[in-house]
Amino acid sequence: MNDWDRDNLNFILNTTDEDFVDWMEQADAEDIDYAIRLIHEHKQELSLKETVLLDEWSEEQIDLTEANDVLNKFRLK
């Protein structure tokens, strides 16, 4: 995804509801297809990042005992 696409994706993800409605009203089918493609590509990027992070986490076998002890203080029993 190039910088132009990234800027357009950021608009789609971060725009106000009102501005998005305005954009939808002026958009043609090609604009909407492009927006959907950007969202799909972003979803794939996030999925890949998640896979990489999970692989790194499982390889490191991080000891979460201390973190879980702290969190347990705030969990409902």
Q: Write down the pTM of the prediction.
A: 0.69
The 10s digit of each residue's pLDDT in 3-16 is 999 999 999 999 99
The 10s digit of each residue's pLDDT in 25-35 is 999 999 999 99
61, pLDDT greater than 90: no
Higher pLDDT, 77 or 72: 72
When pLDDT is averaged across residues 29-53 and rounded to a whole number, the result is 95
- What was the pLDDT predicted at 77? 67
Domain boundaries, the chain: 3-72
The CA distance from 39 to 19, in Å, is 18
Half-sphere exposure of 24 (CA within 13 A, CB side): 9
